[in-house]
């Protein structure tokens, strides 16, 4: 497969990237500073911010799935919501139907308020499923 990866420089995302590459996938990854991404022949780094709709479209073009490990290191960031609002339209524009988003939100007490499911259903009328453990 050819996944587009967001948040690949983070604590969770670096494992997502490592596993995707180890399984033989070709990856395009967006990072604000691509020096934080591993050097690999099957990894195409793209520099940019997930809030930039144009660069997000470039990352998703040619992909067949999106993996998001976007997160926030400071309280009050809206990067996950902002990211979905650029990622989902880009997926629709390029006919990409698979999104896997890693999030602690939606687990336990917040299980009925999953951020990604709510945005996908309410803003984009997508079929969305949350898998929590
Ligand atoms: N860490 C855990 O133990 C854990 C456990 C359960 C669930 N989770 C979930 O996994 C997700 C990620 O958590 P994490 O701990 O891995 O977070 P993290 O280490 O802070 O990583 C966040 C990632 O998002 C990227 N990012 C933030 N703002 C961005 C922007 N404007 N444009 C592009 N990229 C941006 C960061 O890039 P930069 O390098 O540029 O900042 C980084 O790659 C969260 O939703 C969290 O709820 C984490």
Segment 19-29, tens digit of pLDDT: 999 999 999 99
Structural domain of residue 86, as residue ranges? Answer: 3-124
Domain count, the chain: 1
CA of 127 to the centre of ligand 1 (A): 24
| Structure-model confidence comparison of residues 120 and 34, the more confident one | 34
pLDDT band at residue 115 using 50, 70 and 90 as cut-offs: confident
Q: What is the pLDDT of residue 124?
A: 80
Q: Give the tens place of pLDDT for each residue, 73-107.
A: 777 778 998 999 999 999 999 999 999 999 887 77
E runs forming strands in the chain = 3-6, 27-31, 43-47, 65-68, 99-101
29 belongs to a structural domain = yes
69 belongs to a structural domain = yes
What average pLDDT is seen over the chain?
Answer: 91
**Residue 72 Cα: closest atom of ligand 1:** 20
* Residue listed under structure tokens 């070709």: 26
CATH code of the domain in which 41 resides: 3.40.50.720
44 belongs to a structural domain = yes
């Amino acid at each position: 497969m050819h996944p587009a990866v967001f948040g690949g420089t983070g604590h969770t995302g670096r494992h997502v990237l490592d596993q995707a590459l180890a399984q033989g996938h070709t990856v395009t990854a967006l990072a604000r500073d691509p020096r934080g991404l591993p050097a690999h022949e099957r990894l195409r780094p793209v520099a940019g911010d997930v809030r930039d709709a144009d660069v997000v479209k470039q990352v998703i073009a040619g992909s067949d799935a999106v993996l998001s490990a976007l997160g926030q290191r400071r309280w009050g960031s809206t990067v996950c919501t902002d990211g979905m609002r650029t990622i989902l339209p880009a997926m629709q524009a390029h006919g990409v139907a698979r999104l896997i988003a890693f999030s602690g939100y939606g687990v336990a007490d917040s299980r009925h308020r999953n951020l990604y499911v709510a945005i996908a259903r309410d803003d984009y009328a997508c079929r969305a499923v949350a898998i929590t453990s």
